[in-house]
Structure 1
Amino acid sequence: MKITTLGIDLAKSVFQLHGVDEGGAVVLQKKLRRNALRDFLGRLEPCLIGMEACPTSHFWAREIAALGHDVRLIPPAYVKPYVKRQKNDAADAEAICEAVTRPNMRFVPVKTEDQQAVLVLHRSRDLLMRQRTMILNATRAHLAELGMITAQGPRKVFDLVRRLSDSDDGLDLPALARSALLSLARQLEGLAEEIGKIERQLMAWHRQSAASQQLETIPGVGIITATALAASVPDPSVFKSSRQFAAWLGLVPRQNSSGGKDRLGHVSKMGNGYLRRLLVVGATSVTRRAGTNVTRTGAWVRSLLERKPTRLVTVAIANKTARTAWALLVKGENYRAEQANCTKEDVAVP
């Protein structure tokens, strides 16, 4: 039995394998428990192994590659067309085995443990930030029920919450309500401390990552966005162009073209939603500072704001930022802003 190509359908405990020989004939259809997979693959001669890209696939790709196999990860959406009729583990493994041999197939670069660890920091921070927002909104709502309206912004809520711990705060609150609000205040303090720890760890990783430092030079890209991009894109060369990279992030218009007629709609919003959100937030800050930006980018943003809605311009800037990020990652250079033929006095705030 000479297996040249093997498709593995990953799962939590039971993995489905589908192997073919050089002529494409099926020579293996097997189920394996998780703890038996490494031993089984260790006894096979080196071959091409395909798997769907998923949260656990990067770990298994590193483990299997260490055994001498050529491992490739495929986006699940690109495997689906090869699934025949019924959806089951055996059909999925067969489809993966077929898809991995296609010459025009696109593959997902395997992330290192270090890159995955940084992304765990990002997901943890994002979760804690959402929890903080929930508690802030709940606190503001509870205070409103008792006739106390807080100003906009989390800082104002924090200031009011700190007053609750003072017995002479001047707030006329029932004892039970004060006790509940103090409990939420302690949760806020704990969340703020944990978020600060994560951000310091991200800063430390940023300082030792050349790619992250290059990305930070782009306007609208801070340390959070730079570290997320650097960890999420281990090999930018898998994208043939900057537009393909922007499309991977879902920042290009959705197409519905036929018969030679081009029809473009809203942005596709496909791919990594977290990275897309960070880029759009950064683009929003670029839009707000456009009035004092004397670079060519600033002039371009101001010309867009004169003709298009602000939110559309923001997404366009995010698209441009993504393309710039790809170029810097491929070339290994810092961002260099080109000055426009104007001064700050000549710039009109939109």
Structure 2
Amino acid sequence: MDYIGIDISQAYVDADLPGGVQRLEQTADGHAALLAALPAGAVCVLEATGPYGLRLLAALHQARQPVCVVNPLSVRRFAQSQLRRSKTDRTDARLLSQFGGVFAPALHQPPAVWLSQLQQRQALLDLLLGQRTALRNHGHALRQSPWPDPVSTQALEAELTRLDKQVADLEKSLEQDARAQCGADYERLQTIPGVGPRIALALLLAGPGLRAFPGWRQAVAYAGLCPRHYESGSSVRGRPRLSKLGDGRLRRLLYVGAWSAKTKNPACAALYQRLVARGLAGKQALCAVAARLLRQAWAVVANECAFDPNHHLLIAS
């Protein structure tokens, strides 16, 4: 099987084709020329490097061209293992071809249109929430001045009013569309103590969607809530820590939910008390509770059932 590495930038792509690396424009015509030049049975290899590759990825899927989307960190470590000393767009394209040949990564599955659009809306909502917090903090600073500027104060209040309306509209539309697309899962997730509407929505929009993870371990790893062990020989014994290689936003939301789950969720409360009794710090125990919450969420969605607070007792008996 031939792997064709494609390095992506804003204006063009460099493809490691059989005749050598070719540079094509990031346009519909450039994508069509790339598809025409690909050999039969080839698999394209792209890095997940932000928005510049999305249109090319959509064109490849539309043409039913097999494509892999790989983690840039994995490719970087592979380049280091090859002792590479130079980095250009052309060498990156060749490197991606070699990476595909060595590791044979899994083929990329296109996400549902509704999932992609809701993820974009969620990202915009997070951006607006950050802007609103920054403006509120600036307003607090203005009010401390003995001579507050009336023009600045008026402009700030008007902008905050506009942002409040935009945030409310986006939150409402997100909830409505989430209920329309996966209303049953949205309701089931909220039966878990510690999972509210915001966390439930984040779980449904996580990566390829919570249902797409083959198991709860993959979901926990995606959120970066799995432990990372550091041991070597008989002398190096590092303390296990969270990997944090994953969705930081989902991890933070689950950590917030863990504060409620450690008292209201029976299985999580038992886990928290057991870990604290063993000497773990409160924050470490809360991280374990966050991982347990995600495990429960995956089970609720995978089994299509509401949360059973006594399920952990049935397992223990």
How high is the TM-score relative to the length of structure 2? 0.82
Task: State how many pairs are aligned.
Answer: 301
Which residue is equivalent to 2:239?
264
* 1:106 Cα deviation after fit: 5.7
Which residue is equivalent to 2:251?
276
User: Aligned partners of 1:7, 1:237: CA distance in 2, in Å?
Assistant: 30
User: Aligned partners of 2:104, 2:254: CA distance in 1, in Å?
Assistant: 29
User: Aligned partners of 2:253, 2:114: CA distance in 1, in Å?
Assistant: 21
User: Aligned partners of 1:101, 1:123: CA distance in 2, in Å?
Assistant: 34
User: Aligned partners of 2:209, 2:103: CA distance in 1, in Å?
Assistant: 19
Comparing both structures, which one devotes a greater share of its residues to helix?
Answer: 2
Greater CA radius of gyration, 1 or 2?
A: 1
Contact 2:192 2:265 in 1 (8 A): no
| 1:29 counterpart (15, 18, 21) | 21
Which residue is equivalent to 2:112?
112
Contact 2:189 2:306 in 1 (8 A): yes
Contact 2:5 2:16 in 1 (8 A): yes
1:109/1:66 CA distance change after superposition, 3 Å: closer
Q: Note the aligned Cα RMSD (angstroms).
A: 2.9
* 1:283 Cα deviation after fit: 1.7
* 1:240 Cα deviation after fit: 6.0
* 1:34 Cα deviation after fit: 1.2
1:235/1:41 CA distance change after superposition, 3 Å: farther
Q: Secondary structure at 1:208's aligned position in 2? A: helix
1:69/1:280 CA distance change after superposition, 3 Å: same
Which residue is equivalent to 2:15?
17
Which residue is equivalent to 1:316?
288
Q: How does 1:34-73 map to 2 (within 5 A)?
A: 34-35=26-27, 36-43=29-36, 44=38, 45-56=40-51, 57-73=53-69
* 1:185 Cα deviation after fit: 1.9
User: Aligned partners of 1:221, 1:113: CA distance in 2, in Å?
Assistant: 26
Q: Which amino acid aligns with 2:32?
A: D
Q: Is residue 2:167 matched to residue 1:195?
A: yes
> Structure 1, unaligned stretches of length 5 or more?
20-25, 147-173, 342-350
1:255/1:303 CA distance change after superposition, 3 Å: closer
How high is the TM-score relative to the length of structure 1? 0.75
1:235/1:274 CA distance change after superposition, 3 Å: closer
Contact 1:8 1:96 in 2 (8 A): yes
Which residue is equivalent to 1:138?
138
Q: Secondary structure at 1:111's aligned position in 2? A: coil
* 1:244 Cα deviation after fit: 3.8
Contact 2:67 2:107 in 1 (8 A): no
* 1:18 Cα deviation after fit: 0.9
User: Aligned partners of 2:106, 2:70: CA distance in 1, in Å?
Assistant: 7
Which residue is equivalent to 1:346?
none
Q: Is residue 2:99 matched to residue 1:128?
A: no
Query: Residues 82-133 of structure 1, C-alpha deviation per residue, up to 9 Å, x if partnerless?
Result: 3333111112111211222345646665333322211121111111111221
User: Aligned partners of 1:140, 1:235: CA distance in 2, in Å?
Assistant: 39
Q: Secondary structure at 1:224's aligned position in 2? A: helix
Contact 2:203 2:209 in 1 (8 A): no
Query: Residues 127-154 of structure 1, C-alpha deviation per residue, up to 9 Å, x if partnerless?
Result: 11112212222222332344xxxxxxxx
Contact 1:41 1:64 in 2 (8 A): no
